[in-house]
A = this chain, B = another copy of it.
Amino acid sequence: MRKVIVQKFGGTSVADTEKIKNVAKTVIKEKENGNDVVVVVSAMGHTTDYLVKMAKDLSPDPSGREMDMLLSTGEGVSIALLAMAIQAQGYEAVSFNAMQIGIITENVHSKARIIDIKTDKLKKNLKEGKIIVVAGFQGVTEDGEITTLGRGGSDTSAVALAAALNAERCDIYTDVEGVYTTDPRIVPKATRLDEISYEEMLELAHAGANVLHPRSVETAKQFNVPLRVRSSFKTENLGTLILGVDKMEIYKPVTGVASDLSQARIVVCDVPDTPGQAAKLFSSLAKEHISVDMIIQSYARKVSNTNDIAFTIDSSDLDKTIKTLDSLKKDLNCGDIQVNDNIAKVSIVGAGMIDRPGIASTMFQTLADLGVNIKMISTSEIKISCLVDKDDAERALKALHKVFELEGDETAVVKGDLPDV
């Protein structure tokens, strides 16, 4: 039986007709390898920005339904053009939008989740030897309403299609050459990883590495779809393979380091030490769709019988958070609320740190040697994150990258692909 390979090309990779011709060549090469090929594409270059601008001209707050109708046209253009480019090279190709295939999502606009993918049409066309070009980022409800998947949408479309077709692999072609030990824009000696586990990739993504949206990695992990992140422009490089930790050979305790400059820390002081206070606080934030990252609550002070609860959020949610907390202050019966957005989170990630003692102390000692003050610490099985002053982040990152032996000889220069929306 022939193997199915799903390929995904982002907006930068199909930004103009010359680039689309190059994508066609990459697609055909995979077909020539003897595989069945399904290609997922995003909207061309800055199409989405242009469409959003027109919408904003017409309405300060356009309806989610019509916004999804509008944005879904972007991929409609790129799929047809790519199918034509493949046909022009003498290969059979056919494009489908999400409605034609039946990429079924929840009935939610601008950030719908895929709940089912019909495979009849896909399998029939693959059987006929055709290369299939699919619109990423979009879906359709059972009632025929057009939806979009939100950030990381096209990657998620590709992974979900790979899962539905039981594909051999899902190749995410992008502007970067793979997953690096850290951001090469900050640390030029960052090295490309040949392999990384889903779990590590997720921790790195959440820690601020922008190669893949966590959602697509989660979907790949859930369905055990091997993901390859590779360059659209240097297709001879195999990039980085993301797969189950059980299939990896772990050779270093730390796989990557990352910094996230977009966080803000909130400390809610003197919260009375009675049950349900933390639940009240964080459920109020959740109701406002504010994602909380690190949370620290220390022992209750004996004299006042109160706690300080500290947590971090994305800076873009800062105003909303302060508003929510202000309205909650009386109910919580707490003291001051302190805000600090001059902070950064520095993390080390590695499946190899499990059962290997001393990794945390090496991290803390490295920061201490630099004179970097640690404001908060949080850990998971495969990640240790420290909150530091924003000005210290770059020094900390470079030192950690070196001390955990992640440096390479080459200098990597990469830039990010255009995100969906």
Contacts and interface: CB of A to CB of B under 8 A. Distances in A.
A421 interface: no
Q: How many copies does the complex hold?
A: 2
Interface size class of A (residues with CB under 8 A): 35 or more
Interface string A41-74: 0000000000100110111101101110110110
Contacts of A94: 65-66
B80 A76 contact: no
Contacts of A85: 58-59
A130 B121 CA distance: 34
Contact of A84 (B55, B81, B93): B55
Contacts of A121: 144
Nearest to A75: B73
A100 interface: yes
A20 interface: yes
Contacts of A63: 83-84, 87
Nearest to A74: B73
Contacts of A145: 100
Contacts of A97: 69
B95 A81 contact: no
A370 interface: no
A349 interface: no
A122 to B, nearest CB: 13
A88 interface: yes
Nearest to A144: B100
Contact of A66 (B54, B65, B95): B95
Interface of A: 17, 20-21, 51, 54-55, 57-60, 62-63, 65-67, 69-70, 72-73, 76-77, 79-81, 83-85, 87-88, 93-95, 97, 99-100, 121, 144-146
